[in-house]
Structure 1
Amino acid sequence: MQFSLWLALVGAGTVISLTPGAGAINTMSNALNTGFRRSIWGILGQQAALVVHLAIVALGVGLLVASSPTAFYAIKYAGAAYLIYLGVRQLLAKPEAEEAVALSRRNEPAWSMFRRGLWVNLLNPKAVVFFLAFVPGFIRPEAPLAPQYMVLGATIVLIDILVMWFFFAAAARTFQRFTRSTRGQRIMSTVFGALFIGVGLLLAFF
């Protein structure tokens, strides 16, 4: 990949990662509930989903998903239902004492956070459609494809990790003081629950 084309990819990837969505909401929620450092597990799960999406597009399966209304809407509504489920669970979460919050941060398994991040990004068929529109602009068919897809995938994943961890997860630190009281926890649970449900409804109906 030419350096100028790679720079364009970096710029486009940064703008895309900075656009708020389900991944950003999940990252901020994890950072609040488990702490800044441990939120990386959810971010890594989201990156695994991005790699899967890119592989789907590279293998040509993405075109089949995009052109099949049944497959597209099945994945779309499953993704929307999962986000709404996360939102409802957040709304129903009971406030805890500060000591209990600290304990829950230590006890939530990394795999649980990874899996949640994976499903949040994986159950989004619009990501496949987006990659179908986005990827061809950075791929030169006359050159070997495998190295190009590897560079493209590594660049997108690295950018998204940096943006999610050092922008969205770091931004959540501002709200951590709310988790020290039951009233603050209720406010944050309501806010993030509503955001998850809102994104789920947007995915379902738009």
Structure 2
Amino acid sequence: MRDARCLHLRAGASGAKPGEPSSDAFSRGSGVSDEAFRILFTAWAALAVAIAAPGPNLVAAASTALGNGRAIGFYTAVGIATGSFLWSLASGFGLSVVFALYPPLLLVLKIGGGLYLLYLGVRGLLAAWRNVPGAIRPDGRALLPAAAFRRGLTVCLLNPKSALFWASISTFVLSSGASKGVILGFCIVAGLTSASIYGAYVFVFSSKALMGTYKRLMRWFEAAFGAFFCLVGGQLLLSR
């Protein structure tokens, strides 16, 4: 009787009925406390909004889908998602600490990313000037899957704004106190979220209607994408 009474009191203190697992027991079993779950969910929500917002990653996915079709566009989306996974992995295991200890790394990333975006932009503007395929569909040939994947991966990894965003996300993730396994799961979810969102963009931009419009207005599309890449690349190189 005494043992049964003690068991009843412990169950009542935890907010659970006798015979039901308490929230504390669930937290211990899952490895994620309620507070950690809220923090990780907030970080994921911020990530999803940032991914869906216009930027170099979106333009890379959209331009590839327009000029090369849905299948090749998906390779670019997978490349971007791979970059997102790598950034999330770095953020989950102390990216902000690395940048704090080695500030020149961010400068190198900024210069590399700016130059790469300028390269894409200038190529697009020259193509528009000459009225030939360029930034979207180089030399008039469709991108190979490996090249499409590299384009997405490179644009994502060399974007210092992504680095700063992930560095801020790392403060959320590290403060959650979650286990390494849970953090790894968060990174996988981040990669899948990126693949889903950019895959959806590829699906839309590779529609027959939009691709037909691109073929009719190729020069203007090249100019628009080229100007965007030049603008973002220039801002990266000139920003302090």
Does the pair score TM above 0.5? Answer: yes
Partner letter of residue 51 of structure 2? Answer: S
Shift of 1:165: 1.8
CA contact under 8 A between 2:109 and 2:158: conserved in structure 1? yes
CA distance in 2, matches of 1:19, 1:126: 13
Q: Could you say which structure has the greater relative contact order, defined with CA pairs below 8 angstroms and 6 or more residues apart?
A: 1
Partner letter of residue 205 of structure 1? Answer: L
CA distance in 1, matches of 2:226, 2:159: 19
Larger Rg: 2
CA contact under 8 A between 2:76 and 2:148: conserved in structure 1? yes
Deviations 1:21-53 (A, max 9, x none): 110010111011111232111111112222222
Partner letter of residue 24 of structure 1? Answer: L
Q: Which of 6, 19, 23 is residue 53 of structure 2 equivalent to?
A: 19
Partner letter of residue 223 of structure 2? Answer: T
CA distance in 2, matches of 1:112, 1:88: 19
Q: How has the CA–CA distance of structure 1 residues 17 and 111 changed in structure 2, closer, same or farther, with 3 Å as cutoff?
A: same
CA distance in 2, matches of 1:113, 1:18: 20
CA contact under 8 A between 2:39 and 2:176: conserved in structure 1? no
CA distance in 2, matches of 1:73, 1:138: 24
Identity of aligned residues (%): 24
Q: Which of 94, 98, 102 is residue 64 of structure 1 equivalent to?
A: 98
CA distance in 1, matches of 2:51, 2:149: 18
CA contact under 8 A between 2:89 and 2:184: conserved in structure 1? no
CA distance in 2, matches of 1:143, 1:121: 26
CA distance in 2, matches of 1:65, 1:177: 45
Q: How does 1:98-177 map to 2 (within 5 A)?
A: 104-105=141-142, 108-139=143-174, 142-144=177-179, 146-167=180-201, 169-171=203-205, 173=207, 175-177=210-212
Compute the RMSD of aligned alpha carbons. 2.7
Q: How has the CA–CA distance of structure 1 residues 11 and 54 changed in structure 2, closer, same or farther, with 3 Å as cutoff?
A: closer
State the match for 1:39 in structure 2. 73
CA contact under 8 A between 1:66 and 1:72: conserved in structure 2? no
CA distance in 2, matches of 1:197, 1:172: 24
State the match for 1:192 in structure 2. 225
Shift of 1:140: 5.4
Task: State the TM-score, normalized to the length of structure 2.
Answer: 0.71
Task: State the TM-score, normalized to the length of structure 1.
Answer: 0.81
Which stretches in structure 2 are left out of the alignment for 5+ residues?
A: 1-31
CA contact under 8 A between 1:27 and 1:169: conserved in structure 2? no
